[in-house]
């Protein structure tokens, strides 16, 4: 089968299109990420996603970061839930300070750029509870999409590896 290549991601649904077939596969994820709409400044959501990405890259001690809008559908109040790889060990004070500084830096930058009030709060959490429609950004999203893509393609084409 000649599989040409368009794999796209739309609304948590991965769509694969080829000359012969088109099918979709719902990502195996509990995520239901907030999508920017007319009332939401999409640049702000992008900034929040950028912050989540920076937080996950800040230290190897962090396993996952999730930005949760605590007053959804208003997304100006965000808890940044941070899960550590080793939940039995505390972060070094210095690392925790850097995380807080980074979050406040982004918060203030967003306030200045959007002329809106934003309220960010960092939280170390032991785990994540399922949430609907409140997650603005999740560091595991990209990884889950990659995994899901690989599983889907591998399922139909065992020799096909997507990198």
122 binds another protein (CB under 8 A): yes
Distances (CA, A) of 30 to 27, 47, 138, 141, 155: 9, 23, 11, 10, 21
Nearer to another protein, 20 or 112 (CB): 112
Q: Which of 40, 41, 121, 128 touches another protein (CB under 8 A)?
A: 121
**By C-beta, is 101 or 133 nearer to another protein?**
101
Long-range residue pairs from 97-105, CB within 8 A, at least 24 positions apart, any chain = 98/58, 98/59, 99/55, 99/58, 99/59, 102/51, 102/54, 102/55, 102/58, 103/51, 103/55
157 part of the interface to another protein, by CB under 8 A = no
Single residue of 113, 116, 117, 142 touching another protein by CB under 8 A? 117
In the bound complex, what is the minimum distance in angstroms from residue 134's beta carbon to another protein? 15
| Length reported for the chain | 163
Stretch in the footprint of another protein (CB under 8 A) among 58-66, 98-106, 133-141, 150-158: 98-106
90 contacts another protein (rule: CB under 8 A): yes
Q: How many residues bind another protein (CB under 8 A)?
A: 21
Residues that bind another protein (CB under 8 A): 70-71, 77, 87-88, 90, 97, 100-101, 104-105, 107-108, 111, 117, 119, 121-124, 126
């Amino acid at each position: 089968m000649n599989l040409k290549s368009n794999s796209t991601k739309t609304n948590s649904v991965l769509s694969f299109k080829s000359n012969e077939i088109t099918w979709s596969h719902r990502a195996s994820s509990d995520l239901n990420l907030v999508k920017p709409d007319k009332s939401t400044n999409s640049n702000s959501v992008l900034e929040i996603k950028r912050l989540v990405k920076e937080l996950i890259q800040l230290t190897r001690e962090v396993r996952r970061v999730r930005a949760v809008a605590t007053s959804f559908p208003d997304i100006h109040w965000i808890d940044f839930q941070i899960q550590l790889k080793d939940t039995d060990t505390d972060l070094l004070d210095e690392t925790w300070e850097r995380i807080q500084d980074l979050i406040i830096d982004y918060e203030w930058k967003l306030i200045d750029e959007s002329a809106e009030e934003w309220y960010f709060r960092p939280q170390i959490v032991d785990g994540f509870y399922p949430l609907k429609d409140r997650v603005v950004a999740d560091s595991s999203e990209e990884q889950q999409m990659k995994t899901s893509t690989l599983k889907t393609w591998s399922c139909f084409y065992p020799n096909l590896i997507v990198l």
